[in-house]
Each structure stands twice: as C-alpha cells, then as structure tokens.
Amino acid sequence: MKLRKVIGFALPNGGYEKILDSILTEKKIVLKKKIVFQPNYSDWQLNDNNSKNTDATVHELINYYESKYGEVKLEECDLAVPDVSNSTKCRKDKHSGAYETLVLNYRNNLIANAIKNDSRQKIALIYGAGHYEGVKKILDSLDKK
C-alpha cells in the first residue's frame, strides 16, 4: 500500500503485460510493432543454482524511500482499498519524483553495482529496456573511479 501511495498508481497483478493490455484496451490503441514479453525464467533454464536476482523487493524500496523522505503515512482511504492492484482516491505522497527515484534510479544502482562486483566474465542481464541507459551510465561512472 505504501508503494502504491508513493508512486501514485495501482500495481496490477500480472506485471507489465497486464498494464499494457489495460491501456491498449481502454484507449483502443493499435501498436505498429508486436511486443514480446519476457519469458518465464524456467523457459531459459534459470534457477537458484545458476542465477541470482539482484532486484529490490518492495520492502527494500519502501525502506529506502522512508530513509530519504520520512515515513509514508497511510490514510483511511489507502487502508479502505487493501488490494494494491486497485487505485484509491487518496492523494499521492508529497515527493513527486518517487517513481523515478525508486523504480528507475535505486534499482539501476542496485543492478549496476551487482554487475561491477560480480567476478564472472559473462553475465546475462534480464531487465526492462527502459533501464539499460541508466545502468550503462552508472557502470561507466563506476569504471572511471
């Protein structure tokens, strides 16, 4: 509920595919190119023995946000809608750059530092395309240190 309050929108079940489906259906948008969604990790034969998830959990995102801006205080209208895949009529938390701070910058720094600190010669990165430029920029700056 705190993440929903901070970023200002519901967190749909089913991930990006469901978000995109609802936007395309509601707005009746037709895309010029077909979007290919990420396969399940098992389709790539990835498991706990041969891979590692370095992304942030929701709990870690909220802890980071609260350490930076203070406690996120939920209101009655937040609590009245316990299913975070549904929107509320509550006001968004006061820090407007939360989505960029948490979803992009914080997570980009996590992944860039994980890559930098990994000793393997080959690493496969499975991450949304919107993150690549940010991760590359951070890696480039870490290389200069």
Question: Over the stretch 1-15, which tens digit does the pLDDT of each residue have?
Answer: 998 888 887 776 766
Q: Does the predicted TM-score (pTM) go above 0.85?
A: no
Mean pLDDT of 19-39: 69
The tally of domains found in the chain comes to 1
Residue 18: per-residue pLDDT: 62
Domain that holds residue 132: 2-143
Closest CA to 70 of 94, 44, 39, 90: 94
| Rounded Cα–Cα distance for residues 145 and 140 (Å) | 9
